[in-house]
Amino acid sequence: MPAAATALDLKEEILALKKARNAVILVHNYQSGDIQDLGDYVGDSLGLAYHAKSTDADVIAFCGVHFMAETAKIVNPSKIVVLPDADAGCSLEQSCPAPQLEAYLKEHADKNYYVIAYINCSAGVKALCDVICTSGNAVKIVNKAPADRPILFVPDANLGAWVMEQTGRKMDLWQGSCYVHVEFTRDSINRIKAEYPEALVVAHPECTQAVRLLADEVCSTEKMITFCQNAPVKDIIVVTESGMLHRLRKECPDKNLIPGPTDRCACADCRYMKMNTLQKLRDCLANLEPRVEMEESIRARAEAPLLRMLEQSK
């Protein structure tokens, strides 16, 4: 294909390849708008996990980051799962390597931890856990944890702290964080609130406590949609990764959605999420590469806590 292919050409080719491959395109809310517009399903990690589990497509083109495509492969071992850019990683996943978690659990075996892993982690970490959660169902999952076992929550300490506030359940927290969400600060949010004094603030629980305390609502990206739709004001400050604004503007056209700024800029782009492009999506459908693969022993062990999550989330 010529290097100068237009976005329209790429979209037409992607749709043709999707049909030819019997593929489904799953897209996370943080992807760029042009990719979201081509998705068969656009949503948060929980919704994407359900759709990955239920699809009858032969090929899953996962437009997100690596752990998300891995999750789709865990529940679809016989399907081809491709990711437009194999290097699309995640700072949360990187903060909790499986060997490090395994060593920690061995060192503290006497505690008999019930391990709850936020879905933003590798298959190796999922394989070491009792149950998975997302920001959308974390409170429900923690409330269903055995009362007689201490909980280790990995890898996001900010989400874990918020869940403790919601549930009153004490947990030991792995000290990982999303590099994008921790760039929002109390000062940066107070400044934008001063500009829009009537605005409501909705923030993701991966933000720090200082930012969460300034929010009128703390919730997953999916729940942000209903919050914004039902908000009694026009101005809403949205404190999460920038890709969410595209989806919100489509679903809430009557609202003035204001990107929550960081101290550095009026934007919050995840460099990993934005590695996927239309060209790379077209290429991965054409070549069925890069594929997501993993050892069956790890996949099978990781599947059990994922299925437990899906069951407990109903």
Tell me the C-alpha distance between 98 and 88, whole Å.
Answer: 18
Note the pTM of the prediction, 2 decimals: 0.94
| Residue range 54-78, pLDDT digits in tens | 999 999 999 999 999 999 999 999 9
Are 28 and 52 in contact by the 8 Å Cβ rule? The answer is: no
Residue (of 225, 221, 235) closest to 193 by Cα position: 235
- According to the model, what pLDDT value does residue 1 have? 45
- According to the model, what pLDDT value does residue 77 have? 95
| Residue range 187-203, pLDDT digits in tens | 999 999 999 999 999 99
